[in-house]
Amino acid sequence: MGRAGCCYRGAERLASPPRVPRLRPLLLLLLALCYGAHRGHCQVATLQCRIQKCTTDFVSLTSHLTSALDGFDVEFCKALRSYSACTQRTAKSCRGNLVFHSAVLGISDLMTQRNCSRDGPTSSTHPEMQSEPCNYHSRTQHTHTHPRTHTHTPPGYLFCGLFGDPHLRTFKDSFQTCKVEGAWPLIDNNYLSVQVTNVPVVTGSSATATNKITVIFKPFEECTDQRVYQAVTDDLPAAFVDGTVSSGAPDHNLNGNNGDSTGKVQALWISEHSPGRHVELHAGYIGVTVIVRQLGRYLTLAVRIPEEMAHAYDATQDLQLCLNGCPTSERIDRGGHLPLPLPLPHPALGLQLQQPHGHGQSPHTHSHTAPYSAPQGFSMEGARARCREQLEVQDIYFHSCVFDLLTTGDANFTAAAFSALKDMESLHPHSERWTIYPPSSAHTSQPITWLLLLTLCAHG
């Protein structure tokens, strides 16, 4: 066989435990499972067929049992019934899988040998046996539970947000302002795809904003087939493109952030919080929440996704703005420094502006073309005052708001920054990372310098 280490810990005790004869079918079953994993045929590790997980759970439930224990037969039969129930749940997706069919035959043989009834209690010592397969929080109770102590470690989550002209907060909490005109993928993995389309907000400026969002939930086992949600300016529907509002039978527990059961829901559903203005997409089967809003003429987006789901992608899916940020050529900010558009603030602030380079000029040649002036709707102090009405802390969201007002003159961008902040606070799993300050601000009340270069880059 080659690598004995591929087999599951405790299997050797199940193969021939003291005073428990005729467990040979289980040994053959485990050897077949190890052989399939070693050969790499993917029969036991496909996205749909979960027989490998069923077998792993059975080994975890029985690895501590010996025939010397009181009630061995009772506990062993409970584990076999749980194993059988697990195979039934994944039977449809395991058609033609040799390991699956070997497991079914082996379970039947073992139940006959141990005089186990088909009906009866199942093992209750492992959370996985009571989990709902289309509920990520319930399903991962086993994955993140210590086999001995049964203590549960919650899975890790990541956050990504996009709003304004547009400002991107990546999974790594890197805050960037980008051009990214046209269609760009924010997320693209084996479970979920999110794409945005951005259009210029002001003639002559490279700053853009989002007017279309497409979210694709990919097929997952028996939980859901593919569902597509699409929002465009002035059309924020409360349904998927096929007209449905949910997917999956309504028999899965909805768990909160702490894993507490709060009711019965579908595997995938849409909730409308404000018609045409605020919609939330909940994919309970993969633990994903997506918030889509329209503020003014443009859309904002916030996503919370389990880390293991976010990282389930291949080399062809590496262009993901949430994962890797914007390409350098698409960045408006320079290392986090965000310049403001003309007119300039008062010279007493000691701010210096860099003229944008003319087309075809050397970076070292000064352009004689005046930089594009933003709409005159707001002065510097007027923009700051408006943003302070909703954003008390002068963090990155505040300064993004100032940039957007000076760039567009559109007061709706104040509400966009505020809503983006609140969505981040509701979805971001780590409160200690919520607040990000501009690099040059040092938490002071006049962190203007970093902004001045960014908008000029946008107009260049």
Query: Among 148, 143, 142, which residue's Cα sits nearest to residue 127?
Result: 142
**304: CATH:** 3.40.1000.10
Same domain, 182 and 242: yes
Q: Kindly state whether residue 322 falls inside one of the protein's structural domains.
A: yes
Same domain, 101 and 185: no
Amino acid at residue number 44: V
HSE-up of 171 (CA within 13 Å, CB side)? 18
Residue 452 is predicted with a pLDDT of: 43
Same domain, 110 and 172: no
Residue 253, strand partner residues:
264
Phi, psi of 183 (to 5 degrees): -90, 130
Query: Among 362, 425, 459, which residue's Cα sits nearest to residue 159?
Result: 425
Per DSSP, the three-state class of 296 is coil
Q: Which helix (H) or strand (E) holds 34?
A: helix 24-39
What is the DSSP annotation of 388-448?
HTT--S-SHHHHHHHHHHHHH--THHHHHHHHHHHHHHHH-S-GGGS----TTTTT-S---
Same domain, 284 and 411: yes
* Residue count (the chain): 460
Q: Kindly state whether residue 454 falls inside one of the protein's structural domains.
A: no
Residue 276 is predicted with a pLDDT of: 95
Q: Kindly state whether residue 274 falls inside one of the protein's structural domains.
A: yes
Domain count, the chain: 2
List the domain range (segments joined by +) for residue 68. Answer: 50-114
Same domain, 92 and 179: no
Residue 17 preceded by cis peptide, ω within 30: no
Q: Kindly state whether residue 304 falls inside one of the protein's structural domains.
A: yes
Same domain, 171 and 222: yes
Burial 9-39 (b: 16+ CB within 10 A, else e): ebbebbbebeebeebebbeebbebbbbbbee
Same domain, 109 and 159: no
Rounded Cα distance, 268 and 282, in Å: 6
Query: Among 414, 401, 162, which residue's Cα sits nearest to residue 302?
Result: 162
Strands (E), 164-260: 167-169, 175-177, 182-188, 192-200, 208-217, 227-232, 246-247, 252-255
- 283 dihedral zone (left: phi>0; alpha: psi -120 to 50; beta): beta
Query: Among 424, 412, 356, which residue's Cα sits nearest to residue 209?
Result: 412
- 371 dihedral zone (left: phi>0; alpha: psi -120 to 50; beta): beta
Q: Kindly state whether residue 166 falls inside one of the protein's structural domains.
A: yes
Q: Kindly state whether residue 103 falls inside one of the protein's structural domains.
A: yes
Q: Kindly state whether residue 124 falls inside one of the protein's structural domains.
A: no
Q: CA 57 → CA 50, 85, 345, distances in Å? A: 11, 12, 65
Burial 158-167 (b: 16+ CB within 10 A, else e): bbbbbbbbbb
Q: Kindly state whether residue 32 falls inside one of the protein's structural domains.
A: no
Q: What is the pLDDT along the chain (460 residues), one digit of tens a residue?
A: 444 334 433 333 333 333 443 444 455 555 555 544 444 444 333 446 889 888 888 888 887 777 666 678 888 898 999 999 999 988 888 988 999 999 999 999 999 998 999 888 887 544 444 567 888 887 876 555 444 444 456 779 999 999 999 999 999 999 999 999 999 999 999 999 999 999 999 887 788 999 999 999 999 988 999 999 999 999 999 999 999 999 876 544 444 443 343 444 579 999 999 999 999 999 999 999 999 999 999 999 999 999 999 999 998 888 999 999 999 999 988 766 776 665 434 333 222 233 333 333 333 333 332 333 344 478 899 999 999 999 999 999 999 999 999 989 999 999 999 999 999 999 999 999 999 998 754 443 344 434 444 444 444 4
